[in-house]
Amino acid sequence: MTLLLDGKTLSENIREEISKRVKAITSKGYREPTLAVVLVGNDPASHIYVRNKRKACQKVGIRSLFYHLPENTTTPELLDLIAYLNSEEKVDGILVQLPLPEHISQQEVILSVSPRKDVDGFHPENMGKLVARIEGGFIPCTPLGIDLLLKHYRIDPKGKDVVIVGAGFIVGRPLALLMLWRDATVSVCHIHTKDITVYTKKADILISATGVPHLIKGDMIKEGAVVIDVGISKLGDKVVGDVDFDSVKHKVSAITPVPGGVGPMTITALLLNTLQAYEQNMGLKDVGL
Ligand SMILES: Nc1nc2c(c(=O)[nH]1)N[C@@H](CN(C=O)c1ccc(C(=O)N[C@@H](CCC(=O)O)C(=O)O)cc1)CN2
Ligand SMILES: [Mg+2]
């Protein structure tokens, strides 16, 4: 029997808990948590993700402020906005949707967000905490969502061979650090890997985050492996992942669907990070809340 790792239902349950926590705090007279969402340009997928994030915020009682800047925004203009949001006491979290237009320096933008408001966990201070295994930083949303999904289904990466396909900044690299934190033996494959099948075939837990539709086929996988599919691509009208679900599903012990697996967990992790930013900003733990 193959276990379907249902990120949609788990997300709904966690969001319910977040909503209860927000209600409990605001009913004591505290203001609501606030997330500033920044979108530059008109990438259609980014528009959808931002809309979904804002809807999710609204449902759990997090206020979201939306800053939609034109495609031709310059790096200094964007940095000015971020400096303002950093200084605003009532803004707990700042999220700059990626990818940014080519002419904007992603590096400068990431460095400019205050580490205490960096709910995406992209600032080097937060990435550094991931390297050093220091609690209390922000963990990037997709890696955190995957970690929560594995925990929920009692899949412990400790001592396992975890193979990550894709070494991107948003998922692959921070996920490798998080899986090391969880005591897994981690391999990361990328565009220059000679033969990814050598690695995928030995994975106890295989996580693919490439955006190449149906890259991972059944004959590339070890019998009984756990497969986590981070990819989201369009094939015609269908949303598909990196994993060729039909050829893989009978061979594995557990697998995430696309949609409804990692995607919703990414947004749930953002809500959790925003709640964490709010609680730290308001000093709620100091007053016993
Ligand atoms: N600042 C950030 N930018 C980006 C991030 C991020 O974490 N922070 N991640 C990705 C995109 N992303 C969130 O921003 C994201 C992608 C997909 C989903 C999702 O729920 N997917 C659905 C399917 C969606 C569909 O039908 O098209 C699913 O898997 O069920 C959520 C978030 C890049 N940018
Ligand atoms: Mg999914």
**What pLDDT is attached to residue 77?**
98
Before 257, cis peptide (omega within 30)?
no
Q: Closest residue (by CA) to atom 29 of ligand 1?
A: 263
**What pLDDT is attached to residue 282?**
97
**What pLDDT is attached to residue 236?**
93
Walk me through the domains of the chain, giving residue ranges and CATH numbers: 29-114 (3.40.50.10860), 141-263 (3.40.50.720)
**What pLDDT is attached to residue 111?**
98
167 is in an annotated binding site: yes
Q: What are the tokens at 262? A: 């990692």
Give percent of the chain with pLDDT exceeding 90: 100
Of 226, 233, 221, 223, which Cα lies nearest the Cα of 258? Answer: 233
Q: How many whole angstroms separate alpha carbon 141 and alpha carbon 139?
A: 6
Q: How many whole angstroms separate alpha carbon 131 and alpha carbon 175?
A: 11
Q: Return phi, psi of residue 233, to 5°.
A: -135, 160
Task: Compute the average pLDDT of residues 166-194.
Answer: 98
Q: Which atom of ligand 1 is nearest to the CA of 98?
A: 3
**What pLDDT is attached to residue 154?**
98
Task: Compute the average pLDDT of residues 255-284.
Answer: 98
| Dmax (CA) of the chain | 58
Before 99, cis peptide (omega within 30)?
yes
Task: Compute the average pLDDT of residues 221-250.
Answer: 96
- Which residues crowd ion ligand 2, with CB under 5 Å? 258-259, 261-263
Q: For a pocket test of ligand 1, which of 97, 118, 265 has the largest count of ligand atoms closer than 8 A to its C-beta?
A: 97
Q: How many whole angstroms separate alpha carbon 169 and alpha carbon 163?
A: 16
pLDDT in tens, 108-139: 999 999 999 999 999 999 999 999 999 999 99
pLDDT in tens, 62-75: 999 999 999 999 99
Q: Give ipTM to 2 decimals.
A: 0.93
CA of residue 27 to ligand 1 center, whole Å: 32
pLDDT band at 263 (very low <50, low <70, confident <90, very high): very high
Give yes or no for a contact between 274 and 116, defined as CB atoms under 8 angstroms apart.
Answer: no
Helix (H, G, I), strand (E, B) or coil at 162: strand
**What pLDDT is attached to residue 250?**
95
**What pLDDT is attached to residue 121?**
98
Give percent of the chain with pLDDT exceeding 70: 100
**What pLDDT is attached to residue 286?**
93
**What pLDDT is attached to residue 101?**
98
Task: Compute the average pLDDT of residues 148-171.
Answer: 98
Of 274, 87, 265, 57, which Cα lies nearest the Cα of 171? Answer: 265
Task: Compute the average pLDDT of residues 236-243.
Answer: 96
Q: What residue ranges line ligand 1, CB within 6 angstroms?
A: 49, 95-98, 120, 141-142, 170, 232, 239, 258-264, 266-267
pLDDT in tens, 37-71: 999 999 999 999 999 999 999 999 999 999 999 99
Give yes or no for a contact between 206 and 228, defined as CB atoms under 8 angstroms apart.
Answer: yes
Of 89, 90, 32, 35, which Cα lies nearest the Cα of 61? Answer: 32
211 is in an annotated binding site: no
**In sequence order, what are the residues at sequence separation of 6 or more whose Cβ sits closer than 8 angstroms to the Cβ of residue 203?**
161, 162, 163, 187, 221, 222, 225
Q: Angle at which helices 44-60 and 7-26 pack, to 10 degrees?
A: 50
Count of C-beta atoms within a 10 Å radius of residue 238 = 10
pLDDT in tens, 187-202: 999 999 999 999 999 9
DSSP 8-state class, residue 207: E
Which sequence positions are flagged as catalytic?
A: 53, 97, 120
Give yes or no for a contact between 269 and 141, defined as CB atoms under 8 angstroms apart.
Answer: yes
Look up the pTM and report it.
Answer: 0.98
Q: What is the dihedral of CA 30, 11, 211, 52, to 10 degrees?
A: -50
**What pLDDT is attached to residue 260?**
98
Of 63, 59, 48, which Cα lies nearest the Cα of 97? Answer: 48
